[in-house]
Amino acid sequence: MIKRMLACVLLIQTAPVMGACVVPTEVQLHEVWNAFRADAKQGVPAKMEHYFQFPLMFIPPFEYQKPPMVSRTTFRKNYAEIFFKSTHGEDLDIHRRLLKTTGNEVSSAIHFETKACRLKVAVELSDYRFDFHQQRGWIITAVRYADDYYVMKSFKSDR
């Protein structure tokens, strides 16, 4: 009995202290979106990777296609081919569409579950799917890769 009580006390003392639940806002999302857009236009992979959660999913244009997943290592190695130009030197549609954004794009609604302290569903903004992490804030979990999907599939994704 004493051992059980001691174990409970020890467990309570070593358990992490949960902070207050941060409720995400649309203003925060647009701040991250505009910072992402500015950094993406510069094309520096080291600046970009902190916006993403890895493995990063690429959403294909058709539901029957399996979405490729890209690790941080593959992202670093193939960043230019994924987001700027194909291996044949063609400008990628994903980059052209990002350059056309204004920063005032409308996102899907933010549905937040305060009891669980997380989003109910991911938030869509332009070609990007965002999630909200309590420690990291807004983060991109997936990229919609329509016209360039077959170019994307031509280099080796992780899955």
- pLDDT tens digits, residue range 24-75? 999 999 999 999 999 988 877 788 999 999 999 988 887 888 888 889 998 8
Indicate whether this model's pTM tops 0.85: no
- The structural domains of the chain, with segments of one domain joined by +, span 23-154
Q: Are 137 and 36 in contact (CB under 8 A)?
A: no
Domain range 23-154, CATH class = alpha beta
pLDDT at 101: 94
pLDDT at 86: 64
Mean pLDDT of the chain: 81
Q: Are 95 and 84 in contact (CB under 8 A)?
A: yes
pLDDT in tens, 118-151: 999 999 999 999 999 999 999 999 998 866 565 5
Q: 61-68: which pairs have CB atoms within 8 A and are 24 or more residues apart? A: 61/145, 61/146, 61/147, 61/149, 65/149, 66/159, 67/142, 68/152, 68/153, 68/157, 68/158, 68/159
